[in-house]
Amino acid sequence: MLGVCYYPEHWPESWWARDAAEMAALGIRYVRIGEFAWSRIEPESGHFEWEWLDRAIETLGAAGLKVVLGTPTATPPKWLIDLYPEILPHAENGAARGFGSRRHYTFSSAVWYRESARIVTAMAERYGESPHVAGWQTDNEYGCHDTVLSWGPEDLTAFKGWLRRRYQTPEALNEAWGNVFWSMELASFDEVELPVRTVTETAPAARLDYWRFASEQVVRYNEMQVGILRRLSPGRFITHNYMGFFHDFDHHAVSETLDFASWDSYPLGFLEKFPFSEQERTRFTRTSHPDVPTFHHDLYRGMAGNRFWVMEQQPGPVNWAPWNAVPAPGMVRLWAWEAFAHGAEVVSYFRWRQAPFGQEQMHAGLNRPDRVRSPGGEEAAQVGAELKAFGALPENRPSPVALVFDYEASWITRIQPQGKDYRHEEICFRWYEAVRRLGLDVDIVRPGADLSGYSLVLLPSLPHVGEAMLETLKTTEAVILIGPRAGSKTRNYAFPDNLAPGPLAELIPIKVIEVASMRPALHAVGGEVSGHAARWREWLETDLPALASFEDGGAAVVATDRVIYCATWAEGDLLSEILTTIALPKAGLVPVDIPDTIRIRRRGDLTFAFNYGTEAWTIPDAAAKRFLLGGATIAPQDLACWEG
């Protein structure tokens, strides 16, 4: 189904009814509203103005639309900040980050926690049982604009409390952080400082704890909102709209109390933000890289309940990337169908109409500022019509491949990358891309998730392997492909006693005795599989034979019957050979032969195919297929769907 994000407070009330009617006509079912409207709901402390919002909800409901209400905590109003300036977050340099945009709060502020509860309660009391309200979105894009980690006095106070609860004694803290290293030992928790603004690097264990603390605060804050909504709005779903490629807090942990996760999909903007090569950025300027949206679909589907929404879908050019292209014709439609193919329940476009004012005035909508449907709006209307003809989509089924994605791993490798181009998000994405290029579906799962039923499990880079993770690896029957740095750190950011891969040595008999980060260059490796390696190399102590070796004879890939270890950052060619020659045969999986700009995806008993390239693609054996969308030949930026 389709949805849309709408801001009644941005438009004359006289426009609302026509807007609602046009939404319904376009095939829209859900309308998200309210998440930036605090100053209109409570224009001064304790004085609420509900009537306008009552009428807005009523108008939408009268048109047959369902409302998703956003709690407005991403935009605390000026009077609140003036009453309690301690709510403001602080930058790494120690300066307060002021009022004037959004997300200007720290999760550490007790006052903010209380005030958030107050406004959420007020909204939930007013609308929790409204027949037009289908569900809730908590806040908006936690972490956007670097707002998870704050570096001010409130944060230090909260951090001290967190450490006290975690470690009980300063001795335990000193031990965990290795404070003896440079006479950093503390005699009491009062002596703790924020791990920032020092002469050189602070203890990595301290930084990891600060990140965990900050992430847990997001979890606790969201739980607070969820608790209120559950109590006052029974039967309505609760979700949060995560932002793509933001890994500063643990989305899995936040999602535990949600009904499902949703996310905000801006494929063209992400193309500029993710570390793609300039060649890739130029090639995919108007389509985005094919795996950018789907990586997130597969990630967020795995968060809660095997369901997800796209809460915000790019409908045209955005305003926030270094360059902002107009999507190639067809992409606004294609992205929606990719989402459905990957199991999305709802694709909700951001936004109904381009705002002619404010920070995001250069961000397109389904309608132009002059109330005419935009090019993206036309494509959305096509999706609306196709969906109506299509009928219900089948259930999501598990994929044959699981990729373990760990937020903590991102923090660990960012704290000490050791090589400046070692990026956790990048290695995870490239492994995902390699499997998708072979036509296989992937579930992205958290460490410790049940791995039974999978044929192949991928661990691109997992420095800390906890007990639950180890247990699932030991019990699954899947083939396991492990990337570099796995098991190289303990919970307290130290070397395991047995060196890397630490606990994974139970799965494969190797020991990492030396590691190098390598400056940009490709290094040939060869053997049973061959290709190129870069960035990272490990020297192994093992009796296993090398399946691929560096030119000096050092092993690059080794394997047991069921477990494969890659002791380097494998480039695409090597990764592809490891998969096709070693991993897939072991796992009993068969790759699909598709061009590199085609992607296929199965949902239930349907197969979807998408063309991100510049040339038409003809599906093999098309005559035997029953097409529900498209046909034997898929034009650029078009798609097809068939049974089976």
Point out which span in 88-96, 211-219, 404-412, 427-435 binds a second copy (CB under 8 A): 88-96
Nearest approach in angstroms of CB 394 to a second copy is: 36
DSSP structure class, residue 326? P
Quick check: 613 and 636 in contact, CB under 8 A?
yes
| CB-based burial label for 266 (10 Å; 0-12, 13-18, 19+) | buried
Nearest approach in angstroms of CB 399 to a second copy is: 34
Quick check: 2 and 28 in contact, CB under 8 A?
yes
User: In this chain, which of 16, 30, 38, 309 binds a second copy, going by CB under 8 A?
Assistant: 38
Nearest approach in angstroms of CB 548 to a second copy is: 18
Q: Strand runs (DSSP E) across 357-411, as ranges?
A: 401-404
Identity at 407, one-letter amino acid code: Y
Nearest approach in angstroms of CB 412 to a second copy is: 12
Encoding tokens for residue 60?
């939408």
| Distance (Å, whole) CA 196 – CA 415 | 12
User: In this chain, which of 17, 25, 516, 616 binds a second copy, going by CB under 8 A?
Assistant: 516
| Distance (Å, whole) CA 95 – CA 150 | 10
Q: What residues form DSSP beta bridges with 3?
A: 30, 348
Quick check: 208 and 214 in contact, CB under 8 A?
no
| Distance (Å, whole) CA 360 – CA 379 | 22
What residues numbered 7-36 form the site for a second copy, per CB under 8 A?
9-10, 36
Nearest approach in angstroms of CB 515 to a second copy is: 7
Count of CB atoms situated within 10 Å of the CB of 78: 10
Point out which span in 121-129, 192-200, 428-436, 442-450 binds a second copy (CB under 8 A): 192-200
Dihedral, 620, 622, 625, 628 alpha carbons, nearest 10: 110
User: In this chain, which of 58, 185, 259, 528 binds a second copy, going by CB under 8 A?
Assistant: 185
**370 binds a second copy per the rule CB under 8 A:** yes
Contacts for 250 with CB less than 8 Å, ≥ 6 apart: 215, 218, 219, 407, 408
| Distance (Å, whole) CA 76 – CA 87 | 9
Between 539 and 578, how does the x/- string for binding to a second copy read (CB under 8 A)? x---------------------------------------
Q: Closest CB to a second copy among 439 and 613? A: 613
* Catalytic residue flag (residue 312): yes
Q: Which of 86, 115, 312, 379 is catalytic?
A: 312
Nearest approach in angstroms of CB 286 to a second copy is: 8
Q: Closest CB to a second copy among 94 and 398? A: 94
What residues numbered 143-162 form the site for a second copy, per CB under 8 A?
144-145, 147
- Whether omega before 351 lies within 30 degrees of 0, making that bond cis, reads yes
State CA 486 to chain mean position distance: 21
Nearest approach in angstroms of CB 210 to a second copy is: 11
Nearest approach in angstroms of CB 231 to a second copy is: 25
| CB-based burial label for 621 (10 Å; 0-12, 13-18, 19+) | exposed
Q: Closest CB to a second copy among 415 and 641? A: 415
Q: How many residues bind a second copy (CB under 8 A)?
A: 107
Point out which span in 122-130, 406-414, 493-501, 603-611 binds a second copy (CB under 8 A): 493-501
Q: Closest CB to a second copy among 415 and 442? A: 415
Q: Which of 42, 141, 425, 433 is catalytic?
A: 141
N- to C-terminal Cα separation, the chain: 22
Nearest approach in angstroms of CB 181 to a second copy is: 3
Encoding tokens for residue 576?
């592809």
Tell whether 140 is in a known binding site: yes
What residues numbered 98-137 form the site for a second copy, per CB under 8 A?
98-104
Count of CB atoms situated within 10 Å of the CB of 497: 7
Distances in Å between the Cα of 244 and the Cα atoms of 70, 92, 151, 313, 603 are 19, 23, 24, 11, 22
Encoding tokens for residue 305?
């309940």
**If we measure between CA atoms, which residue out of 488, 485, 507, 491 comes closest to residue 499?**
488
Tell whether 320 is in a known binding site: yes
What residues numbered 403-432 form the site for a second copy, per CB under 8 A?
416, 418-420
Q: Closest CB to a second copy among 500 and 547? A: 500
Between 42 and 81, how does the x/- string for binding to a second copy read (CB under 8 A)? -xx---------------------------x-xxxxxx--
Between 272 and 311, how does the x/- string for binding to a second copy read (CB under 8 A)? x--------xx--x--------------------------
* Overall size of the chain counted in residues: 644
**367 binds a second copy per the rule CB under 8 A:** no
What residues numbered 195-224 form the site for a second copy, per CB under 8 A?
195-206
Q: What is the DSSP string of 243-272?
A: ETT--SS-HHHHHTTSS-EEEEE-HHHHHH
Count of CB atoms situated within 10 Å of the CB of 589: 19
CA angle 531, 533, 539 (to 5 degrees): 120
User: In this chain, which of 169, 475, 498, 614 binds a second copy, going by CB under 8 A?
Assistant: 498
Q: Closest CB to a second copy among 101 and 452? A: 101
Between 620 and 639, how does the x/- string for binding to a second copy read (CB under 8 A)? --------------------
Identity at 393, one-letter amino acid code: L
84 half-sphere exposure, CB direction, 13 A CA radius: 18
User: In this chain, which of 95, 110, 590, 592 binds a second copy, going by CB under 8 A?
Assistant: 95
Q: Closest CB to a second copy among 24 and 499? A: 499
Q: Closest CB to a second copy among 285 and 581? A: 285
What residues numbered 306-365 form the site for a second copy, per CB under 8 A?
316-317, 319, 322-326, 354-362, 364
Nearest approach in angstroms of CB 259 to a second copy is: 26
* Catalytic residue flag (residue 141): yes
**249 binds a second copy per the rule CB under 8 A:** no
| Distance (Å, whole) CA 64 – CA 119 | 27
- Binding-site positions for substrate read 102, 140, 320
Write out the catalytic residue numbers: 141, 312
Known binding positions? 102, 140, 320
